Amino acid sequence: MNAAERKAIHDAIVRLADGDRSRVRPLLDMLWPILLAFARRGVGQEQDAEDVAQETFLRICSRASDFDRSRDGLSWAFGIAKYEILTHRRRLRRTGDPLDAPELALAEDPARSQEADLIARELELILEGVLGKLEQSDRAALGLGNIETPALPASAAARKRRQRALERLRSLWRKLYGEP
């Protein structure tokens, strides 16, 4: 994708956010092949990929008013697509449908796009920021970082410390970024 196509997508999202509903069809024409390819890599099966891509586009349209113009429109769309893929996977796990892990390896795609790399790096930075706000004892309980504390034994007390640290991490995440 060249810079002009990327800018056209961004501009269409901005105009859609401003209430210009005539941008829906051009945005769909530009984003559909990209979203569908991304969803195929994420869910594996064609029908599921089409459903996920469609749900992603609907969510983009419904949340256009929340779009931050200082961000890249395509990266924003990929973030929504990734969330929809993960939601689809959770739904499959809950219903007991088998997941084919090799087909669903998003992170290990050798032909990963620049957009996917940017999204992954942005998520890593966000996670590092949240983990940096945790107390040292919570990071130790979760086994994160190079913390100079002895390893916790596999006792009920250690599991409880880990559970409480995870609760504090989730609470901090919700406070900073809302419900995932």
Q: What is the pLDDT along the chain (180 residues), one digit of tens a residue?
A: 788 988 999 999 999 888 888 888 998 999 999 999 999 988 878 888 999 999 999 999 988 888 888 888 988 999 999 999 999 988 888 776 655 544 444 444 555 577 777 787 777 777 778 778 888 888 888 777 554 445 545 678 888 888 888 888 888 878 877 765
Distance CA 81, CA 113 (A): 14
For 100-167, give the DSSP string.
Answer: -GGGG-STT-TT--HHHHHHHHHHHHHHHHHHHTS-HHHHHHTT-SS--SPPPPSSHHHHHHHHHHHH
All structural domains of the chain: 3-108 (1.10.1740.10)
Q: What is the pLDDT of residue 111?
A: 54
Sequence-distant contacts of 160-164: CB under 8 A, at least 24 apart: 161/137, 164/138
Q: Residue 109 has what pLDDT?
A: 53
pTM of the predicted structure, to 2 decimals: 0.54
pLDDT at 180: 53
The pLDDT, as a whole number, for residue 51 is 92
What is residue 52's predicted lDDT score, i.e. its pLDDT? 93
pLDDT value of position 53: 92
Tell me, what's the pLDDT at 147?
Answer: 46
- How many CB atoms are closer than 10 A to CB 9? 21
Distance (Å, whole) CA 50 – CA 4: 26
